[in-house]
Chain A
């Protein structure tokens, strides 16, 4: 039984990471190769950042005889990564899994089902943590010692640590499920909880250098505190650095912790997975219905679609929030920027290009249009069977994309211009360039999604997070900004700033027009029979 369940679970896990075509079949050929390259690139970047972080800590801590603290810190970073990667999967893949009812109706003991699901989550946690832990071990071996015991214990820790992460994710997923089940607006709760979680993570990440330097310089003082307060962490670090006794103590602590969580959850799993958790039913009382035009109904539909989904809000809305935060940051640090311009007046000349590039780079994660067709999913028949022109449907998607991305980008651009005080002509051209970019970017995302839609998804994360058109849009957007930057650099050697900025806006406006013309001519025909 376990074998059959495990096979199903692994196939499901694998299917999350394999790109699909519009009929839900795994992609082959060049698109699969591109996807594999992209995955390898992400793994490389994460591993490289793990290696870089470990390098800062390794030598100073080891020189003070605090090898265990080095592994403890690397372990904490890895665990944070693991929790980030699995906490929401814990809710969607374990407690709210779509096949819970089907499987629980079969003669499968809930504890076995929970075990198999937890194992799948463990695999995900393992990969998230391994990209940090393995570079950490490599740095230690290269800089400190090549000792069989420490290699074995640290390698075993790579397998052991995700068990801790798994237990924590199970608890958090259980809490999110419980809280989400008690409130009417579940997506708002999930969004707020996620934003809080990301805010804390971003704050810690922005302070990472300070934290790492503090740990490296005050190792002994911190070590003393950890030994007393975070005993398991001390044993983990000591065990990973080669102390066999500590390794077994850590393993025992993890086993007891996970065992307790598993025992408690397996007893309540069937109740959690199948009950509606007491949301009070709201009885309809007939009232006045609001009539609006078809175009406004279509836009309203897109808005509802976006704001009903925490996945959409978190993935596509985060860059707009970051742009607003960056705008506030510009004002907070205004005096520093003013001083910078006083010291190097030539900065005023490159500032417009840097501001525009920053706005475009940060805002390029807002790619709702690149998922908007796929998000129709199995409801595509509705829009296809209604008497609406596909042009209106496309326009409604594009309007929402621009409304989500452009205002925040303009707030940042304006704030940065106010602080950096370039001439008015430069400010105007920067605003025009940023506007042209976001219209082009939104239209291109929609073109890509019409060309490569995926309507057969079971979890919207498949199109929002891992969709081919979304991935290509984000990286393509960054690539275009870099290309324009290179062009700007060479042009600026022979032409004044206003010509360079005008050239960028003209290129982007032309590209945006071409994309919109395609959408209005060929896009409307394609989307009608997707």
Chain B
């Protein structure tokens, strides 16, 4: 579903991402771990067509994001780490806007927005302007807007930040349901316990280079994800 081949992104003289390759199959939840500044967000943004890679190729459902970004974007949804949304819209108007862009039918958008908003506990607030939303409410709205067009691939940057425990639980359940239905999820997180329990595969990035990737059991080799991650950080460990 998502194939990253030799992705390299350079800022000035620093390689933010260095020759990174990953392959995410349909039905997989792929966790992306790394310390702050390791290159996670840069990789994610390049996958979503927001950032132009200096080298390498990214394919979504076999389509090159460089050659046909719109077709790729039609198949995916992106939730950033800090969802700045249109403050001049209400929650429901924002959902309607996203549904319009993805050409979601009226009945389908009504059904999906009601289902996900109820699940995440945002229904009562949908008539409020987004400017009055808390961080968690914005995060919930961004999640609903990502799901409203039933994407095949969801890319999320720190999706659990700001969510209340119930919404976190609902999101984890939804992620599993989506992947069980053949969708794929690629997300970054610092919550290693969640990644360990939820992900089928994991990748650890350090200084722009992928140092571990593969099925969770194989990557852990009997240890916990926290131990593996701290081990990978080597000399920086406290």
Binding site for B on A (CB under 8 A): 276, 281-286, 288-294, 296-298, 300-301, 304-305, 308-309, 377-379, 381-382, 384-389, 528-529
Q: Are B110 and A385 in contact (CB under 8 A)?
A: no
- Size class of the B contact interface (CB-based, 8 Å): 35 or more
Closest to A285 in B: B127
Q: How far is the CA of A382 from the CA of B125 in the complex (A)?
A: 21
Partner of B100, one of A276, A293, A382: A293
Question: Which residues between 97 and 156 of chain B lie within 8 Å of chain A, taking CB atoms?
Answer: 97-106, 109-110, 113-114, 123-128, 132
* Cross-interface CB contact of A387 among B74, B95, B127, cutoff 8 Å: B74
Expressed in whole angstroms, the Cα–Cα distance for A308 and B93 within the complex equals: 14
Interface centre among B80, B100, B114, B128 (most CB of A within 10 A): B100
Closest-by-CB residue of A relative to B124 is A283
Given A291-B106, A293-B103, A529-B52, 17 new contacts (CB under 8 A): A284-B127, A284-B128, A286-B110, A286-B114, A289-B96, A291-B96, A292-B100, A294-B103, A301-B86, A385-B73, A386-B73, A386-B98, A386-B101, A387-B74, A387-B102, A388-B101, A528-B69
Flag whether B48 is at the interface (Cβ < 8 A): yes
Output the nearest chain B residue to A378 by Cβ-Cβ distance.
Answer: B84
Given contacts A294-B101, A385-B78, contact A304 B89 (CB under 8 A): yes
Q: How far is the CA of A70 from the CA of B71 in the complex (A)?
A: 71
Q: Which residues in A have their C-beta under 8 angstroms from that of B124? A: 283-284
Interface of chain A: mostly helix, strand, loop or mixed: loop
19 A-B pairs with CB atoms under 8 Å apart are A282-B127, A283-B127, A285-B127, A286-B110, A291-B104, A291-B105, A294-B100, A297-B100, A300-B97, A301-B89, A304-B93, A377-B84, A382-B85, A384-B50, A386-B102, A387-B72, A387-B74, A387-B102, A388-B70
Residues of A within 8 A of B98 (CB): 386
- One digit per residue, 1 when the CB lies within 8 angstroms of any chain A CB and 0 when it does not, for chain B 62-92 equals 0000000111111000101000111011011
Report the minimum CB–CB distance from A241 to chain B (whole Å).
Answer: 51
**Complex Cα distance A58/B112, Å?**
73
**Least Cβ–Cβ distance between B26 and chain A, in angstroms:** 20
Asked whether B73 lies within 8 Å of A387 as measured between CB atoms, the reply is: yes
Among A379, A381, A382, chain B packs the most CB atoms within 10 A around the CB of A382
Judge if B49 is at the interface, Cβ distance under 8 Å: yes
Taking a contact as CB atoms under 8 Å apart, the answer to whether A291 and B70 are in contact is no
With a cutoff of 8 Å between Cβ atoms, the chain A residues found around residue B86 in the complex are: 301, 304-305, 379, 382
In angstroms, how far is the closest chain A Cβ from the Cβ of B27?
23
Judged by DSSP, the binding face of B is helix
Cα A289 to Cα B109 in complex, Å, equals 8
Inter-chain contact A381/B80, CB cutoff 8 Å: yes
CB distance from A283 to the nearest CB of B (A): 5
B191 CB–A CB distance under 8 Å: no
Residues of B that sit less than 8 Å from A by CB: 48-52, 69-74, 78, 80, 84-86, 88-89, 91-93, 95-106, 109-110, 113-114, 123-128, 132
B60 to chain A, nearest CB (A): 11
A309 to B51 alpha-carbon distance, docked (Å): 29
- For A384, the closest partner residue in chain B by CB is B50
A286–B96 CA distance with the chains assembled, in angstroms: 12
Asked whether B97 lies within 8 Å of A289 as measured between CB atoms, the reply is no
The answer for the CA separation of A294 and B96 in the assembled complex, in Å, is: 11
Chain A residue contacts of B96, Cβ below 8 A: 289-291
Q: How far is the CB of A209 from chain B (nearest CB, A)?
A: 42
A297 touching B52, Cβ below 8 Å: no
CB-defined contacts of A291 to chain B, threshold 8 Å: 96, 99-100, 104-106, 109
Q: Which residues of B contact A281 (CB under 8 A)?
A: 128
Asked whether B88 lies within 8 Å of A309 as measured between CB atoms, the reply is: yes
CA distance A64 to B50 in the complex (A): 71
Contact call B101/A385, Cβ cutoff below 8 A:
no
Bound Cα distance from A282 to B125, whole angstroms:
8
Give CA–CA (A296, B125) in the complex, Å: 26
**Hey, which chain B residues are within 8 Å of A283, CB to CB?**
124, 127
Give the shortest distance, in Å, between A134 (CB) and chain B (any CB): 41
**Residue in A292, A305, A379, A529 whose CB lies within 8 Å of B51:** A529
A387 to B73, CA, bound (A): 5
- CB–CB B48/A297 < 8 A: no
Given A289-B96, A388-B101, A529-B52, also A381-B127 (CB < 8 A): no
Asked, given contacts A284-B125, A379-B84, A382-B86, whether A289 binds B99 with beta carbons under 8 Å apart, the answer is: yes
B65 to chain A minimum Cβ distance, whole angstroms, is 11
Q: With A291-B100, A294-B100 as known contacts, state yes or no: A385 contacts B84, CB within 8 Å.
A: no
For the complex, what is the distance from the CA of A12 to the CA of B103, rounded to whole Å? 43
A290-B50 Cα distance, complex, nearest whole Å:
29
Closest chain B residue to A293, Cβ basis: B100
Looking across the interface, which residue of chain A has its beta carbon closest to that of B71? A387
Q: Bound complex: CA of A529 vs CA of B54, how far in Å?
A: 13
CB contacts (< 8 Å) of B48 on chain A: these are: 384-385
Q: How far is the CB of A396 from chain B (nearest CB, A)?
A: 12
In the bound complex, residues from chain B placing their C-beta under 8 Å from that of A293 are 100, 103
Whether A289 lies near B106 (C-beta < 8 A) is yes
Asked if residues B126 and A284 are in contact (CB atoms below 8 Å), the reply is: yes
Residues of chain A with a CB closer than 8 A to B70's CB: 387-389
A408 to chain B, nearest CB (A): 23
Q: Report the minimal beta-carbon distance from A454 to chain B, rounded to whole angstroms.
A: 15
With a cutoff of 8 Å between Cβ atoms, the chain A residues found around residue B125 in the complex are: 284
Q: Specify which of A276, A288, A290, A387 is in contact with B101 (CB 8 Å cutoff).
A: A387
Which B residues are in CB contact (< 8 Å) with A384? 48-50
Least CB distance, B87 to chain A, in whole angstroms? 8
